[in-house]
Structure 1
Amino acid sequence: MKKLQFNITINAPCMKLCKFLKILSLFIFPLTVLAQTDNSELQKMYNEDQSSRMVKNINWSVLSKQDKEREKRVYEMINSEQIITGKDYYNSAMIFQHDNDTIASSMAVKHMKKAIELDSTINKWLLAAAIDRDLMRQKKPQIYGTQYVMNNGETKWKRYDIDSTQVTDEQRKFYKVETLAEQILKERNMNLTPISEFHSKSSSINQTIKFIKSEHKKGLKSAYNTSENELNGFAYELLKAKKENDALEIFILNTKLYPNQFNTFDSLGECLLLLGKKEESLNAYKKALKLNPKNENARKIIESQK
């Protein structure tokens, strides 16, 4: 049997095209490597970490055990190279943040630095908080002022010792941390009676709204916390209790009491979207983005609704 022979002649233009495609692949390949998706299991762990801290009367012994289990799983993910994206490093940093030893606190700092290196849009507050907590775990003064403690036998929160000379207020603002003056006010607010306590007695959202307005007018003379963060947290408590319409009323009130704070409109947008009020939700998100053009959450949601 004769063997068939094929003679293939590649002309010059074809050779040039092949060379071009080969060079092009060198540029495309790294992009495919970089196009990694966030670790969904780690995101779920982060969500559990956060939601477990948004309930009343936390059982700290149970929560501590859960924190340890999450931390153990994060180490397994590190060993199997499953932590890749900036969001992954952010989520793992938060889990490390909630352990109580210096190994975990140093890992939180390390992972937050990597998170910001990979994604400059990530919330930088956690890096300042991780640095402060790492210093606190080493029994050194914090430098940003993110850590507040309640020692055994005490009933009031206080800001943990701080070396205020190491960081300027401008640097604090860059990391989304309150200024030194704002931290004094924050400490006061933390020791005020939460609005949820009044609401548990009145059980009427209209009475609670009326009470919030009257307490807010008292300013520093108020015995209740009517800060933006307190009202926002209270509204989310109502959402979790399946009282969506009551939550909406508080979110709306918060935008009226704090009309220049982007987060009040961002949270309002989230609630409206949950209730199926898409047009009103978009308006709230647009307002949030106008107040803070760096609000990527609002930007993404607005884009997704087009």
Structure 2
Amino acid sequence: MTRMRFNLLICYIVWALTYGAVLPAQAPNKEVSSPTIPKNTSANPELLRLVIADQWDRGNDMFGKGQVRASSDLDWKATTKHDVERHEAVRSLLADGKLKTKEDFSYASIIFQHSSDPADLMLAHVLSSTAYGMGGADRWMMAATMDRYLQSIKQPQIFGTQFRTNDGGHTWTMEPYNRNTVTDAERALWCVIPLEQQEKVLQQYQKGNPRSSTEIEGCK
């Protein structure tokens, strides 16, 4: 594996540990052997297939039982390869004008945020913003993709949605983080919890306890 691909793989593993905080902590349900396919959706069928696969690779039954496999049980090398393939597929859908609904743009954003490439992360931000503009509930995702983009270009995050570790999960940090760029009132407008609560979430990371979300509960 080249150094670039190895670094990309590490980024994905760190993301998986971090993004797991978006949902309430729960024990994996190992009885689920295949992802749940929703019967009724306004999403493009091909895009729906891609986002279900994206989440299933990460052990999440997106439309069913939630987290069904632990991070340690996942094949991250295969996931990295699949992510590249999914990015190409979604780009084709975008180029052909086949993404039309708020669900389409929201799901496409989920797929593109799984990258360490700044261009992919900015696209994820644009897609989540588009979904929100169409009536989707993507304010937290807009903040998270902006934070991820900023950190990918070695700039401080500004909302406080990202946590990372450089030593295999022993020492967690939110740095680099410029806490003064936006206020807590502005964070609330983007469905992000205030600084004081973020510190409590960071403490949970550092203690190895189940992680909480930085999204304000019920915020739409």
Is 2:176 the partner of 1:161?
yes
Separation (CA, whole Å) in 2 of partners of 1:86 and 1:64: 26
Asked if 1 retains the 8 angstrom alpha-carbon contact of 2:115 and 2:121, the reply is yes
Separation (CA, whole Å) in 2 of partners of 1:88 and 1:126: 14
Is 2:63 the partner of 1:47?
no
Match of 1:68 in 2: 84
Separation (CA, whole Å) in 2 of partners of 1:228 and 1:163: 21
Is 2:161 the partner of 1:183?
no
Return the index of the structure with the highest Cα Rg: 1
Query: Is the partner of 1:191 in helix, strand or coil?
Result: helix
Asked if 2 retains the 8 angstrom alpha-carbon contact of 1:67 and 1:95, the reply is yes
Runs of 4+ in 1 over 3 A off after TM superposition: none
Separation (CA, whole Å) in 2 of partners of 1:144 and 1:77: 31
Match of 1:28 in 2: none
Is 2:162 the partner of 1:147?
yes
> Superposition RMSD on alpha carbons, in Å?
2.4
Query: Is the partner of 1:176 in helix, strand or coil?
Result: coil
Answer 1 or 2: higher relative contact order, Cα 8 Å, separation at least 6. Answer: 2
Asked if 1 retains the 8 angstrom alpha-carbon contact of 2:44 and 2:98, the reply is yes
Query: Is the partner of 1:184 in helix, strand or coil?
Result: helix
| Cα-to-partner distance string for 1:126-153 (whole Å, 9 max, x where unaligned) | 1000100110111000100111111145
Query: Is the partner of 1:146 in helix, strand or coil?
Result: coil
Asked if 2 retains the 8 angstrom alpha-carbon contact of 1:112 and 1:127, the reply is yes
Q: 2:137 aligns with which of 102, 119, 122?
A: 122
Q: Which runs of 5+ in 1 are unaligned?
A: 1-35, 194-223, 230-261, 264-291, 296-306
| Cα-to-partner distance string for 1:43-78 (whole Å, 9 max, x where unaligned) | 222222223324321332221111111111001101
Asked if 2 retains the 8 angstrom alpha-carbon contact of 1:157 and 1:190, the reply is yes
| Cα-to-partner distance string for 1:110-130 (whole Å, 9 max, x where unaligned) | 1112111111x4231110001
Match of 2:24 in 1: none
Q: Compute the displacement of 1:228 (Å).
A: 6.4
Q: What pairs with 1:227-242 in structure 2 (closer than 5 Å)?
A: none
| Structure holding more helix per residue | 1
Separation (CA, whole Å) in 2 of partners of 1:42 and 1:126: 18
Asked if 2 retains the 8 angstrom alpha-carbon contact of 1:142 and 1:161, the reply is yes
Asked if 2 retains the 8 angstrom alpha-carbon contact of 1:93 and 1:109, the reply is yes
Separation (CA, whole Å) in 2 of partners of 1:155 and 1:61: 22
Separation (CA, whole Å) in 1 of partners of 2:104 and 2:49: 11
Identical aligned pairs, as a percentage? 26
Query: Is the partner of 2:122 in helix, strand or coil?
Result: helix
Separation (CA, whole Å) in 1 of partners of 2:46 and 2:89: 10
Separation (CA, whole Å) in 1 of partners of 2:212 and 2:121: 29
Match of 1:95 in 2: 111
Match of 1:136 in 2: 151
